[in-house]
Amino acid sequence: MKMSKQVALGLWLPLLTVTGWEVCSGFGILDPLFFPAPSRLAASAWRLTGTGELGRQAGATVTRMGIGFFCGAVAGLLLGALMGASRRVGRSLEPSLSALYSAPKLSLLPMVMLLAGVGESSRLLLVAAAAFVLVAFHALDGIRGVDRSWVELASHHGAGRWMILRKVFLPACMPQLFTGLRLAAGRALVVTISIELINAPDGLGSMILMSWQTFATEKLYIGVILTAALGAILHAVMRRIELKLVPWRN
C-alpha cells in the first residue's frame, strides 16, 4: 500500500473526531469552557509555538524520555542476552524481573528519590526502569525462541560461535527484540509524562498539570494532543526503523 494511502487510512478517525468536535462546539452542544473548539486550540497552539513554549516543553519530554529509554534499553538488552545465554542466570533473575515488571514504577518514586536525589536523575532512573524490563524480557524471549536445529545446522556446516551469533541468533531474535523496543518506547513515554505530572519543572506532563492548576483548558488539550501525537510519531518511527533493519519480519 502506498504511503499516502496508509496515512489517509490512519487519519480518518482523528479527522472525524475533530470535525464532530468543531461542529458540536459551533452549535453550542459542548461547553467551550471545558471543550474549546479545535479551531481555538489550533490558534492557541500556534501562539504557544510562536513563543517557543510548546517546543521547549515537548523538547524536555523527548529528551527525558530519550535518555531514559536509551539507558534502559541498552541495559535491558545486555541483561536479556545474558539471561538467554546462561540458563542459570536466566532462572535466577527471571522472578525478580517479573516482579519489577508488575511493580507500578511511580510508587517507587519516594525510594528512588532517596537513592538518586530529587532532581533529574530519579526521573531518568524510573523511565529507564520502565524500558529496561520490557527490553530484557523480549531479548530473553527472542533468544529462547531461536530454533536449536538452525544452530546445529550452522555448526554442522563449520560456523564458529561468532558466525552463529551474527548469522543465526541476531536475525532470529531481531523481530522479537524490535517488538520489545517498540513497546518499551511507548511505555517510556507514558512513564515520562506520568512523572512530569507529579514532579518535574518542565515537560508536557508538567504543562498539562500547570494548565489544570490554572484552569487553562486550551493549553491542557494542546498538551494532551501533543502527547498523543508524540506517541503516534514514536510508534511510526520505530516501525520504519524496524522495516529497514528487519525486512524479513514482514
Residue numbers of the site for another protein (CB under 8 A)? 31, 33-34, 109-111, 113-114, 117-119, 198-201, 209-210, 212-216
- What distance in Å separates the CA atoms of residue 227 and residue 203, rounded to the nearest whole number? 10
Please say whether the beta carbons of 32 and 25 come within 8 A: yes
Nearer Cβ to another protein, position 22 or 53?
Answer: 53
- What distance in Å separates the CA atoms of residue 228 and residue 66, rounded to the nearest whole number? 16
Residue 14 cell numbers, joined:
482523528
Taking alpha carbons only, the member of 16, 79, 47 closest to residue 216 is 47
Nearer Cβ to another protein, position 99 or 114?
Answer: 114
- What distance in Å separates the CA atoms of residue 28 and residue 14, rounded to the nearest whole number? 21
What distance lies between CA 184 and its chain's CA centroid? Answer: 5
Nearer Cβ to another protein, position 58 or 112?
Answer: 112
Please say whether the beta carbons of 48 and 54 come within 8 A: yes
Shortest CB 224 distance to another protein, Å: 14
Nearer Cβ to another protein, position 83 or 207?
Answer: 207
Nearer Cβ to another protein, position 52 or 160?
Answer: 52
Judged by phi (left if over 0) then psi (alpha if -120 to 50, else beta), residue 158 lies in left
Taking alpha carbons only, the member of 236, 231, 245, 238 closest to residue 188 is 231
Nearer Cβ to another protein, position 26 or 117?
Answer: 117
What distance lies between CA 121 and its chain's CA centroid? Answer: 19
